[in-house]
Amino acid sequence: MDASARPPPGPIDLATQPPIERPGLRLEPATRTVHGPAASLAIEPRVMQVLLALASVEGRVVSREALLQAGWGPVVVGDDAIHRAVAGARKALREAGVTTWSVETIPRVGYRLRAEQPEADAAALPEAVQPEAAPEPPSAAPALVARRGWLAAVVGVSAAAALAGWGIVSWRAHQRRAAALALAEQGRQALRLASPPANQQAADLLGRAAELQPDDAAIWGLLALARRAAADAAPPEALGAALDAAGAAIQRALALDARQPEALCARAQLVPAFGQWVRAEAAFREVLQVAPGHLPTLDSLALMLSGTGIIADHYALRLKTVEGDPLHAGYSFRAIFSHWMNGRLAAADQAGERGLELWPGHLPTWLARAGVLAYTGRAERALALLDGPLPKLPPPLITQMRLAWTALASGQARDRAAAREGILAGLARGGPLLAVWATLDLAALGELDVALDVTEAYLLERGALQAGTSWQPGQTLHVDVRRRLTNHLFLPVCAPMWQQPRFASLMRAAGFEAFWAATGRTPDHLRRG
């Protein structure tokens, strides 16, 4: 195959690929959505990568090797893998009602996306794509009518005209409704990717849906969730406006339906949990009284509880989220840490491998998988991940991880000293993400005093060190870092810190002890002790 006909070298990063438009077909990689005349549907990542590879070369033949590179990169897979992906691509086109394109097999060579030319038959089109022309009124009366029947004829013409007008209005309302629901579904799928770009895309899609259906409470509720999530990635000068926009969507949804669960959840999420855990927990539990089993609320409550050391209780909620929506990237990556927190390392490994398979390039999933490897005696494997395809990581964090994980792998004192020096050098300018991972790396290396110094700087903004407690433009974000979360302090790698009197002092100063006392709880790490 000519090199010019090759798709971009892979594996294709779906999160960064722009949508592709072809007659009768639209591919949206970031949401893994295929849009056709009959339907819009979400597909598996490998299937989308295959479709993108085929669509990117304008109908030319793509070799099997190029498709394998686009979907699997250096990972060695059998023929069955590509056969399943191609079959999935054909099924997606068929179910979306795409008749203008088909995936053609070129024996012993590869595949291509072939343009079809179906016969135009408006009567055969699905309802969602019928033309918006006004229905033709029936013949109202003969050209000549009996003199005594003229009044009936006039009435008949008037009634037919009225029905035609009503038909136009009804049809257009139907079209707006269908378009709004399609946009809302795309927005919902984008939210499940749980990344800052996808959250913003969800907010944009749902905003358009709300414009088309301004009286739909469910659409406004989803928009409220999306805008609140997107606010986590807003630059500091735009954060207030972003939260105001989320608040406006919440208000609109609840005005239409006072029990709308997504809007109630978004309102509860507006409470800054750090230091206000009693209030935050009460807000989430109020939502669950209205909508038991509401997954976004269970997710938020689970996250809050694990961030206060209530590990066993949080785990039951986390399992409900991943069972309720196993293809939600946010629930999935948090489950990796949750399994590890609860002593289920094999389950954490399985969730991490599955997450990287489903969402290659997803930053939080990569971090969770690499961290579990690095801090459970498998630093060499974590370094191998660091040498492979990477998500968008800031160079200082890559440097820090390489230093720390090299020291963990070698066990050499000189490597540990170099890691400690490198971590402290990048701490002040690295933002919350580096502060969190500095704590984990230092705890793993046995540098407990320095790890506690970082914790004090991060939680309380005091002490000799400067830690990046607030995000600044240019620093890497993922869905949990903009808020000052504390879940990392209760990961098993930090267990040596729990035994230090200073850790208890920091928990008291940050308000954790007040939360535990107010709710009658004992955190798991103290029960184990």
Domains in the chain, start-ordered, CATH in brackets?
3-115 (1.10.10.10), 271-276+368-388+396-528 (no CATH)
Q: What percent of the chain has pLDDT over 70?
A: 84
User: Mind listing the pLDDT tens digit for each residue in 241-295?
Assistant: 999 999 999 999 999 999 999 999 999 999 888 889 999 999 999 999 999 999 9
Tell me phi and psi for residue 291, to 5 degrees. Answer: -135, 75
Q: Residue 137 pLDDT > 50, yes or no?
A: no
Tokens of 278: 């009693």
Query: What is the band of 149 on the pLDDT scale with cuts at 50, 70, 90?
Result: very low
Place of tokens 């990972």: 75
Tell me phi and psi for residue 478, to 5 degrees. Answer: -135, 180
Tokens of 514: 């007040």
pLDDT for 155 equals: 44
Strands of the sheet containing 25-28, edge to edge, are 20-22, 25-28, 33-35, 40-42
Considering only residues 420 and 164, tell me which one the structure prediction assigns the higher pLDDT.
420
d(C-alpha 109, C-alpha 233), whole Å:
45
Q: What is the mean pLDDT of residues 508-522?
A: 96
3-state secondary structure 248-304: HHHHHHHHHCCCCHHHHHHHHHCCCCCCCHHHHHHHHHHHHHHCCCCHHHHHHHHHH
pLDDT for 479 equals: 52
User: Mind listing the pLDDT tens digit for each residue in 15-65?
Assistant: 888 888 888 888 998 888 898 877 788 898 889 989 988 988 878 899 888
pLDDT for 154 equals: 41
Q: Please, what is the angle between helix 329-341 and helix 345-358, to 10°?
A: 160
pLDDT for 421 equals: 95
Q: Residue 364 pLDDT > 80, yes or no?
A: yes
Q: Residue 297 pLDDT > 70, yes or no?
A: yes
Query: What is the band of 379 on the pLDDT scale with cuts at 50, 70, 90?
Result: very high
